[in-house]
Amino acid sequence: MLNHFFRDMERLTCEILKLAATVEELIHTAIHALCDSRADLADRVLRSDEAIDDWEVRIEEECLKILALHQPVAVDLRRVTAVLKINNDLERMADLAVNIAERAIYLNKYCKGAAIPEKLEAMTAVAIRMVRGSLDAFVNLDADKARAIRALDDEVDRYNREIIDDLKMSMRSDPDRIEAGLELFSATRHLERVADHAANIAEDVVYLKEGEIIRHHHNLH
C-alpha cells in the first residue's frame, strides 16, 4: 500500500509540474501581449482559461482520492495538502494571466500606442523566477531555497510601487494618458499578485519540509 501511495504521489507531482509549466507560459504570453500589443497572443491566453480550470479540478480530485484511499499521516499528509494548495495557487495565477491579457486587448483596441512601463519586463522576470523557483523547491523539498524565493517578493513589490508612481506622474502630466494608465495599473497589480501566489507556494514548501507555518512571518533569515 505504501508503494502505491508513492506511485500515486509521483504521478500527482508530475501533473502539478505540467500545470505549473503551462501557467508560467501563460504569464509570459500575457505580458508579451501587453508589451507588444499582440491581441492574438492575448486571445490565446483567454482561450486557455477553461482548460486550466478543468485541469485544476482533476488534480484536486486526485488529491482527494489519495487522501481517501491511503489516509496518509505526518509528512505524507503534508505533501498531499501542499499539492492541493499549490494547485489552487497555480489556478489563480492562470486567472491573473487572463486578467493581464484582457488589459492587453483593451489597450490594443482603445489606447493604441500607450507607453508600457520600462520596468514591467524586469518585474515579470522576477515574478517568473519566483514561480519556477518555488516549484523547484517543492520538487527538491528545499526549504532554504523556498525561503530565498519568498524573499524575492519584496523586489516585486518594489517594482510595483515604482511602476505605479511612474504611471501616476505620467497621468498627472498628461490627462489623455489616464485611461491607459488605469489599465496598466491593473496589469501591474495582477503581476504583483502572481508573485504573491508564488510566495505562497514557497511557504507551503517550508511547511512541507519542516512543519513550520511561516505565513505572516517577515524575518526569515
Give the tens place of pLDDT for each residue, 185-201. 999 999 999 999 999 99
Q: Give domain status of residue 215, yes or no.
A: no
- Please report whether residue 180 resides in a domain: yes
Helices 74-110 and 39-47 sit at what angle, rounded to 10 degrees?
140
Residue 219 counted as domain residue: no
Total of domains in the chain: 1
Q: Using pLDDT thresholds of 50, 70 and 90, give the confidence band for residue 220.
A: very low
pLDDT, the chain, mean: 94
Tens of pLDDT, residue by residue over 45-69, are 999 999 999 999 999 999 999 999 9
Instruction: Please check whether residue 70 lies inside any domain of the structure.
Output: yes
pLDDT at 221 over 60: no
Residue 73 within any structural domain of the chain? yes
The answer to whether residues 24 and 128 touch, using CB atoms and an 8 Å cutoff, is yes
Question: Who contacts 159 (Cβ-Cβ below 8 Å, separation ≥6)?
Answer: 119, 122, 123, 126
Q: HSE (CB half, 13 Å, CA atoms) of 195?
A: 24
Which residues contact residue 68 at a Cβ distance below 8 angstroms, ignoring those fewer than 6 apart?
none
pTM: 0.93
DSSP letter for each residue of 123-157: HHHHHHHHHHHHHHHHHHT-HHHHHHHHHTHHHHH
Task: Specify if 218 maps to a domain.
Answer: no
Residue 213 has pLDDT above 80, yes or no: no
Tell me what pLDDT residue 188 has: 98
Q: What is the mean pLDDT of residues 206-211?
A: 89
Residue 142 pLDDT class (50, 70, 90 cuts)? very high
Tell me the mean pLDDT in the region 153-168.
Answer: 97
Instruction: Tell which wins on pLDDT, 218 or 134.
Output: 134
Range of the domain at 18: 2-210
CATH number of the domain within which 166 lies: 1.20.58.220
pLDDT above 70: percentage of residues in the chain: 96
Percent residues over pLDDT 90 in the chain: 90
6 within some domain: yes
